[in-house]
Amino acid sequence: MTASHTTRCIWLTGATSGIGRALAVRLLDQGHRVALSARRPDALQELAGDRDNALLLPLDVSDRDAVLAAGDRIAARFGRLDLAILNAGTCEYLEAGTFDAALIERVFATNFFGALHGVEAALPLLRQARSQGGRPLLAATSSASAYLPLPRAEAYGASKAALSHFLESLRLDLAGEKIDVSLIHPGFVKTPLTDRNDFPMPMRVSVDQAAEAILKGLEAHRLDIHFPRRFTLALKLLGILPPGLRFRLGRRLARDHADTETAS
């Protein structure tokens, strides 16, 4: 989103780390009124500094009541939302040998249901912006892993695929209200979350590159904001291969991981 004379009212979750922090800094510096949400109040305060265009809303997105209360505070302060960026997310990898359904529930609580709580809180405020003549935008950070099943990504990939499917369906229902929906599908981005990964991450980009790609896509109300494009287009193509070919490809990746674990 380029700097402009139009001040937007924006809500950003997952604002204090990784992609979220890079987005928050740019949006605040551009002069927008930005509601910032993350779990740690001290990290939010450090991010906002002395900026008077930041509204700090510490919360855990898996807590529906807390998210709805944040929506009420935004309504009281801003009166509307021109843009909601539901960016909060987490990642845990599943080891099939020690299958843990609680792990999957934790990942879905943040990545899927946390985003749904944000949708529920944001929609009335987006509708208010539309009633004032705006073209509001609902956006959420999914993942390129939603395009293609990958080893150990059962929880993470499924939560992001569910989010993408849900919002693509919601997009159809909101189109008549002139509320747009953008999905963000990043490839690998260098963040504290991906720094924990124990496998190769081809074409990994910086948070600054990610933020620039996202803001450019949001400015255009692009339906699918994906990057780096060589990587994400390759995953899209692999995702439409016949199931047998997809299985053989994924099985090869799983074997490589097992070999690495044995060697260590």
Q: Is 156 a catalytic residue?
A: yes
Give the Cα separation of 195 and 259 in Å (integer): 21
Residue in 11, 112, 113, 156 annotated catalytic: 156
CA-CA-CA-CA torsion sign (204, 231, 107, 174): positive
CA-CA-CA-CA torsion sign (152, 155, 159, 165): positive
Calculate ∠ Cα 11-17-20, nearest 5°: 35
Give the Cα separation of 188 and 231 in Å (integer): 9
58 with 40: CB under 8 angstroms?
A: yes
Of 176, 202, 178, the C-alpha closest to 190 is 202
- Residues tagged active-site: 156
